[in-house]
């Protein structure tokens, strides 16, 4: 059976694609709003960005329990409407010039809280829309849309901000969330089994035990936490290298980062076939190993001393970005599909929230750690440290029990 025959999933995919584009537009519009409209500094931009992710660190495990207690479609609809209303409020407050950095941060903490619950329900909702054998393919379609949005969303956002201004660009995203809520509300799906009532602490422990005592989920989770730490370090250091050592301007930086999105689109196109042919574990192990060499290519890019070295540096960086994005595209749908396949319905919210919250916590640690190492040791030394971490993650994954994991062998 083909995915397009599942009309509920098609509606969900359209809703997800629409909101994904809106999310990348909002990310750029908020940065412009802080700097250009509000006269903020780079530090203000950092605090505003961090405020969106703070709820993931503080409330992630609680969100998983609550999502398992409620109908996931209801959570998705309510959180989409709520996020649309918050962005509309920010737009009108910006137009009337009554917004401040502190108030914006407060509103974005609320926005991030709704996004946390939406993300937990979103990842747990897919198994209710398609049969389990189609989970990897369904996640590949969702990842493809996300990769396209990541590639073109910032460019669209830049055009919108230039054309109508940052506040109205946020309003555009608000409309995308409202459109998404209408589509999801119209979805007919098989309802999930609700979690039996119990203490919050007990249910959090049940979710943690499920993830960290599972034969394959445990090594997958621990390795992914470490990967997020070194990935966030790497991305922080690379952007500084591109702008300072290689002399890229903002426009060229955007094109370079978009190369990873192109690679991700290619990777997601092959993800399902790679999982079937080689097994999910081996295909993911290949991806984890590929990250290190991809960043090594970028680390070897020569400093921009003349036009020839600039072209060589650009070639090294683009090829490295393509491979890095390709690895992410291969493993993303496989990891999500496997997690959803082996996890019972009543654990889906807690499983997804547990992994997402700890992964986001690793980002909160890794990004400033990368910047600190770069300031103290130099960009290239710090980058080679993060490369070493990515290589260790690849070797660790390849030697773990997860390497042998196959969907067809999983117990449900």
Domain co-membership, 127 together with 172: yes
Helix/strand/coil percentages in the chain, nearest 5: 85, 0, 15
Do both 347 and 227 map to the same domain? yes
The domain that contains 172 carries what CATH number? 1.20.1250.20
DSSP category for residue 242: I
CB atoms within 10 A of CB 286: 17
pLDDT in tens, 228-239: 999 988 887 887
Checking if the pLDDT of 179 tops 70, the result is yes
Give dist(CA 87, CA 32) in Å, integer.
15
- Say if CB 111 and CB 54 are below 8 A apart: no
- At 86 the pLDDT is 94
User: Does residue 254 share a domain with residue 395?
Assistant: yes
How many domains, in total, are found in the chain?
2
* 199, part of any domain: no
Q: Specify the length of the chain in residues.
A: 412
213 and 167, same domain (yes or no): no
Rounded Cα distance, 392 and 223, in Å = 10
> Is the domain of 178 the same as that of 289?
no
Same domain, yes or no, for 214 and 188? Answer: no
* pTM more than 0.75: no
d(CA 283, CA 335): 10
Name the domain boundary from 154, 170, 193. 193
92 with 178, same domain?
A: yes
pLDDT of 320 strictly over 80: yes
Q: Are 139 and 339 in contact (CB under 8 A)?
A: no
d(CA 129, CA 6): 7
Nearest to 84 by CA among 19, 21, 165, 143: 19
> Can you give the pLDDT at residue 392?
95
pLDDT tens-digit readout, 128-156: 787 777 777 777 778 777 777 766 766 67
- For 43-106, the DSSP string reads HHHHHHHHHHHHHHHHHHHHHHHHHHHS-HHHHHHHHHHHHHHHHHHHHHHHHTT---HHHHHH
Nearest-5° angle of CA 128, CA 132, CA 134? 100
């Amino acid at each position: 059976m083909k995915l397009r025959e599942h009309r509920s999933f098609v509606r969900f995919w359209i809703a997800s694609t629409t909101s994904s584009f809106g999310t990348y537009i909002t990310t750029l519009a908020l940065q412009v709003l802080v700097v250009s409209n509000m006269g903020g500094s780079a530090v203000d931009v950092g605090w505003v960005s961090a405020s969106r992710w703070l709820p993931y660190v503080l409330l992630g495990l609680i969100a998983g329990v609550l999502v398992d207690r409620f109908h996931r479609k209801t959570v998705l609809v309510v959180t989409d409407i709520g996020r649309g209303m918050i962005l509309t409020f920010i737009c009108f407050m910006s137009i009337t010039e009554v917004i401040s950095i502190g108030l914006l941060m407060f509103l974005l903490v609320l926005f991030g809280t709704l996004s946390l619950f939406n993300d937990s329900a979103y990842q747990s909702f897919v198994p209710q829309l398609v049969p389990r054998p189609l989970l990897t393919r369904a996640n590949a379609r969702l990842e493809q849309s996300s990769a396209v949005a990541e590639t073109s969303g910032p460019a669209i956002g830049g055009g919108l901000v230039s054309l109508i201004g940052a506040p109205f660009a946020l309003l555009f995203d608000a409309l995308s969330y409202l459109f998404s809520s209408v589509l999801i509300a119209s979805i007919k799906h098989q309802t999930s089994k609700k979690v039996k009532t119990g203490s919050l602490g007990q249910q959090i422990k049940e979710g943690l035990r499920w993830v960290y005592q599972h034969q394959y989920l445990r090594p997958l989770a621990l390795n992914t936490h470490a990967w997020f730490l070194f990935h966030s370090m790497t991305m922080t250091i690379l952007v500084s290298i591109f702008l300072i050592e290689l002399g890229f301007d903002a426009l060229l930086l955007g094109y370079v980062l978009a190369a990873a999105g192109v690679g991700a689109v290619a990777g997601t196109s092959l993800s399902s076939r790679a999982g079937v042919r080689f097994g999910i574990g081996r295909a993911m192990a290949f991806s984890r190993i590929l990250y290190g060499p991809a960043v090594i290519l970028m680390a070897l890019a020569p400093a921009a001393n003349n036009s020839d070295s600039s072209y060589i540096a650009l070639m090294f960086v683009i090829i490295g970005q393509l491979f890095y994005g390709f690895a992410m595209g291969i493993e993303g749908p496989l990891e999500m599909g496997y997690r959803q396949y082996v996890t019972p319905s009543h654990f889906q919210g807690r499983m997804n929230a547990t992994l997402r919250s700890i992964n986001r916590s690793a980002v909160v640690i890794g990004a400033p750690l990368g910047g600190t190492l770069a300031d103290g040791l130099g960009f290239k030394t710090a980058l080679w440290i993060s490369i070493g971490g990515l290589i260790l993650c690849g070797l660790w994954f390849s030697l773990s029990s997860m390497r042998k994991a196959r969907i067809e062998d999983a117990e449900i």
